[in-house]
Amino acid sequence: MSARDKALDAWGAEMPDWVAALADACDRSSQNKVARALDRSAALVSTVLGRTYKGDMQAVEDIVRGVFMKGTVMCPAYGELPLQDCRKWRGRARTLQNVNSHWVRMYRACNSCPIHTKTEDAPHVPETTD
């Protein structure tokens, strides 16, 4: 059974385009290679295709759209940025890490970006008074 068939069996007619892209990528190479390209496990890929994944499906969608569908966003610091990189920086923006000036720049950019501030992975920033 192909990955596309597995996904069709699980998702039916409501299969999202990004799940179809994930399945097609698996059929072109292998589930393990696709998982490595996504920087995720083969088990995650399998459970997404089988519609049994219990984790953050939006995160997987962003990564698949960025890696296999070449999805991008406009980043205030970078300009056009692949979706998977945007998600990675949003995760890093939870806490300030003064590693280098680039990280600080991205921390500030992510925390003022409407994409980051409207997602649940946005950090809680306490209100301050001057």
* Segments making up each domain of the chain, as ranges: 3-68, 72-117
Q: Evaluate whether 121 touches 84 at the Cβ level (below 8 Å).
A: no
DSSP category for residue 124: P
| pLDDT bracket for residue 100 (50, 70, 90) | confident
Strand partners, 74: 80
Q: Evaluate whether 2 touches 27 at the Cβ level (below 8 Å).
A: yes
Helix residue ranges, H only, 69-127:
83-92, 101-112, 114-117
Phi, psi (deg, nearest 5) at residue 105: -60, -45
123: closest CA among 90, 87, 86, 88? 90
More confident residue, 99 or 82: 82
Average pLDDT score over the chain? 86
| pLDDT bracket for residue 117 (50, 70, 90) | low
- pTM passes above 0.85: no
The residues near 19 (Cβ < 8 Å, ≥ 6 apart) are: 7, 11, 48, 49, 64
pLDDT digits (tens, 9 = 90+) for 27-51: 999 999 999 999 999 999 999 999 9
Q: Evaluate whether 80 touches 74 at the Cβ level (below 8 Å).
A: yes
Q: Evaluate whether 3 touches 23 at the Cβ level (below 8 Å).
A: yes
More confident residue, 33 or 128: 33
Residue 107, token pair as written in the block? 């921390």
